[in-house]
Structure 1
Amino acid sequence: MRHLASLLTLALLGACTVGPNYKGPPAVASDAATRGTFVRAQDNALTPAPGLARWWEPLGDATLTALVDDALAHSPTIDAAAANLRAAEAQYRQQRAARLPSVSASGVYLDARLPGTALGGASDGGSGDTSLEFYNLGGMASWEPDLFGGGRRALEQRRATSEQRFAQLADAQVTLSAQVAQAYVGLRDAQARAALNAQSSALQRRQLALVQQRYTAGTASALQVERLQNQLNSTDAQTIPLAAQIDEYKGQLAILTGRAPGALDATLAPIVPVPLPPAQVPIGNPATLIAHRPDIRAAERALAAGNAQIGVATARKFPSLKLLGVVGLGGTGISDVLDPSKLATVAAPMLSWSFLDFGRNRAAVRQAEAQRDAAEAQYRQTVLEALQDAETSLSRFGNTRAQLAQLLLAEQSAARAARLNGQRVEAGTSTLVDQLDIERQRLSAAIAAEQGRAQLTGNYIAIQKSLGLGWAEPPASARP
């Protein structure tokens, strides 16, 4: 036991940690991070205030809020990501437990027949064979000191992987909330345009009927009739695909919330306006995006795990020590397992070293280093793509706002024209056919404005997704 204690003391004193220490991710787009603002955030509706985790609530649509919350609670995609996180956390706890000593109980019964031997057991006639029975009841303890830090690096790797899985869960929440909101806006837009198209078709049918009457009376040409018929056919043709789009969006929302297609048809049947973004949209800054966007966090944690793997591979190049201890009661009779005088102890330190491996461990280290370099490159690429995603979304939002302002002016102008011509019809200076044509133009302007509203809200959603919003940090006690 004195030698065992000496070995243990030397192991603890000589313990070190091989492999490179993780120094954090490389600096990427440092000019963007220090600038403090996004290049494309020129619209005065965009503010540098921190973004909102529940960004869909400022849209002010209770149905949308309920759908997003329902999806986050019941989506199979989120359930799968959460299961991957639980598995990674279990692996981390398993690796942490592996660094501690293990103790096991054992009971042994041995019945041996040894030919041509005389070991003090029962002799089998005159053949010289010996039969031997042995009983033992005790326990075994083993521990492998982490001489060169391979276990510490493995624990570091497991922790980084667990945190990567958490970031991937957060990224799945970001993507899902954006998908639900985009599908909901698409549904409301298609419903509104289908209703406006139906009104336009009704006006055109009235206009066509009047012109046909005039053609019969000889005051209108066949060309006028054909032209109106062509307009009506075109409007009806545009209405038909909208019904399919409405069904598609309803089914998509059902799937995103973990339901079968058709389950939300009754809930989503009432036509309501497309929700519009708030007057001020908080967007934070590039440094916040780099620090908190989940896919960037996942890429950074993958880099940390890859760095730790180098230490795991390097530790295999050095000797390993395993300490084994056995304590038990036993002998040739079953009563011996209860006799304290039959106590047996064994201490067995075992040192092993694969010093002649023909370069296998060296190759494993080189492989780990290459994988770490690939993870670093992936991190840089993820950061750059995230910044570009955000800048593009911000630019589109600002330009769509300007476009919508012009579409609303056109809608207002068309409405004024319809009112003014209505006055002329009442005064007898314009015809009902002309009034119906102007009303059709007013509806066309309204349809264009409706599409502009939906596009603006869609770009608002794209901003939130590009900023990585839609998830929240869990309590510290819930983290691995």
Structure 2
Amino acid sequence: MRRFTPPALLALALAGCTTGPDYAGPPPAAPNAAAGGAFRRAGDGLTTAEPVLARWWEALGDPTLNALEARALAANPDIAVASARLRQARAEFRTQRANRLPNVNASALYAHARVPGLDLGSEEEGGGGGGGTSSLNVYNLGFDSSWEVDLFGGTARAIEAARAGADAAEARLADAQVSLTASVAEAYLNLRDRQARFALNQAIIARQEQALALTRQRLAAGTVTQAEVERLVQALDGSRADITPLRAQRDSYLDLLATLTGTEPGVEDAALGTVQPVPLPPEQVAIGDPAALLQRRPDIRAAERTLAADTARIGQARAARFPRLSFMGIVGIGGSRLTDLTKLDDLAAIAAPQLSWGFLDFGRNRARITKAEAVRDESEARYRGAVLTALRDAEGALSRFGASRVTLASLARAERSAGAVASLARQRYAAGTGTLIEQLEAEQRQMQAEQALIQARANLTLSYVAIAKALGLGWDRMDAGGVPAGDQAAKMR
């Protein structure tokens, strides 16, 4: 019968022990939402169909925006940072997994010693008697190995924590993609809104200047009062004041888009300088349900995986309270002559099991466990907060989308009415029953109504972007290198 040494028996008896607690999944943070059902603020134009996870912006049908999004995902520094952190986390997981296995090292040694006054059986190089100097050569080839038995699961918990940490890093990369794609779309829509309003404001100023010149002619002829002239001057100054911030905002959004796409400010000015209409969202927007939202949002996934990692670290801290069993072995050949390295039957071998236990640490381990438990409790609270924030974001975005649709419809009717009034003013002027000033003022009111309509269109599409962000859209699965699986441009980078 095979005999086991006492350390081996201890290892076999305790190797199956793993200190807790075991992670049982995230706590219930929003049971009503997790049970299914529909969003409370969902209204017209919203369906419960499952939304497209990646490239949601393509539903707007704007090729320029599509190109900006692709460049941003490939070159944005924040995405590069999150991708690098994912690779770090995956490397840490591989490191912790390798810690379960023995550590083996190979060594080769040659030493030459000159020892005075010591007779080692070699030729003396000087003097006589015992006062000479002896030479000694040492040759050695060997291997040493060390291995710590995971008696109480500390290494297993470290691997568990590292795996969850890698999952959390992947979720944070996805969350960075969600934020980036929404930011690019928001900047682009705001740019198109400011460009269109800036152009309209210039046209309004031209109309006001023309009306003011005609009114001054009438003042000289005595057909109007100075008060009428001052009213037009005041309106013209107000329009000129309005156009200044529009120009500054237009330029700032151009610079923001350049930065988001990983280039310096000014690079995108030529490509985006032409005025283009603000794209509108599709007639029907798929939003899914709250339960799917909680599974989809990467920030919730990151918070849940962080909670899992911090739970595993409690077991890692608890395992440090118990004894540690390690084995060290050394095997080598050699001697005082080079030919000794060929004597494979003359091996030097050492096997040294070691049991250590820091049982008297004056509360250090207890403090580390308390800290790990507090970190876990913080992560649990953050997870609950992430769930509630996600639901609030979604409901708020859906409510704003519905309100924006109503506002846009009202302003569209107002713009059509102003257009009809301007058309009648032009007909009256052509028939000689109206004045040019009346026609110019009617056209100015029409452009002001059009300006409000442009802003309402932008607000509606911005609320659609807010829905996509709140639903956690805009990311794709990662490959082993931390690159979105469908992002070929980023893979080639």
What band does the TM-score fall into relative to the shorter chain? over 0.9
**Residues 59 and 278, structure 1, Cα contact 8 Å, conserved in 2:** yes
Count of paired positions: 477
2:409 counterpart of 1:405: yes
The TM-score, its normalising length taken from structure 1, stands at: 0.94
**Matches of 2:464 and 2:452 in 1, distance apart?**
18
The residue number in structure 1 matching 2:183 is 179
Secondary structure of the residue aligned to 2:107 is strand
The residue number in structure 1 matching 2:49 is 49
**Matches of 1:122 and 1:48 in 2, distance apart?**
95
2:123 counterpart of 1:149: no
Secondary structure of the residue aligned to 1:340 is coil
Residue 201 of structure 2 is aligned with which of 188, 197, 202? Answer: 197
**Matches of 1:369 and 1:410 in 2, distance apart?**
61
> After the TM superposition, which of the residue ranges 191-200 and 240-249 deviates more from structure 2?
240-249
**Matches of 2:258 and 2:344 in 1, distance apart?**
71
Residue 311 of structure 1 is aligned with which of 281, 294, 315? Answer: 315
**Matches of 2:481 and 2:77 in 1, distance apart?**
25
1:184 alignment partner AA = Y
**Matches of 1:478 and 1:270 in 2, distance apart?**
36
**Matches of 1:188 and 1:319 in 2, distance apart?**
67
Q: Shift of the alpha carbon at 1:23? A: 0.5
Q: Shift of the alpha carbon at 1:131? A: 7.0
Q: Shift of the alpha carbon at 1:117? A: 8.3
Q: Shift of the alpha carbon at 1:451? A: 0.5
**Matches of 2:344 and 2:422 in 1, distance apart?**
109
The residue number in structure 2 matching 1:445 is 449
**Unmatched tracts of structure 1, length 5 or more:** none
**Matches of 1:345 and 1:118 in 2, distance apart?**
28
The TM-score, its normalising length taken from structure 2, stands at: 0.92
Q: What is the correspondence of 1:262-411 to structure 2 with a 5 Å cutoff?
A: 262-411=266-415
The residue number in structure 2 matching 1:210 is 214
**Matches of 1:148 and 1:220 in 2, distance apart?**
97
The residue number in structure 1 matching 2:486 is none
> After the TM superposition, which of the residue ranges 64-73 and 9-18 deviates more from structure 2?
9-18
The residue number in structure 1 matching 2:19 is 18
2:92 alignment partner AA = Q
Taking only the aligned residue pairs, the percentage that are identical comes to 53
Cα displacement string for residues 279-327 of structure 1 (whole angstroms, at most 9, x for unaligned residues):
0111111111111101111111110010000011011111111111111
CA change 1:117–1:19 in 2 (3 A) is: farther
CA change 1:118–1:323 in 2 (3 A) is: farther
CA change 1:37–1:80 in 2 (3 A) is: same
Cα displacement string for residues 178-232 of structure 1 (whole angstroms, at most 9, x for unaligned residues):
1100000011000000111111111111111111111111101111011011111
The residue number in structure 2 matching 1:66 is 67
> After the TM superposition, which of the residue ranges 106-115 and 318-327 deviates more from structure 2?
106-115
**Unmatched tracts of structure 2, length 5 or more:** 484-493
Residue 230 of structure 2 is aligned with which of 226, 231, 234? Answer: 226
**Matches of 1:375 and 1:59 in 2, distance apart?**
38
**Matches of 1:204 and 1:107 in 2, distance apart?**
92
Q: Shift of the alpha carbon at 1:381? A: 0.8
Q: Shift of the alpha carbon at 1:171? A: 0.6
**Matches of 1:253 and 1:147 in 2, distance apart?**
55
The residue number in structure 2 matching 1:170 is 174
2:170 alignment partner AA = F
**Matches of 2:367 and 2:178 in 1, distance apart?**
39
Secondary structure of the residue aligned to 1:326 is strand
Q: Shift of the alpha carbon at 1:428? A: 2.4
The residue number in structure 2 matching 1:93 is 94
Q: Shift of the alpha carbon at 1:6? A: 6.4
**Residues 331 and 342, structure 1, Cα contact 8 Å, conserved in 2:** no
Residue 434 of structure 1 is aligned with which of 438, 457, 460? Answer: 438
2:263 alignment partner AA = R
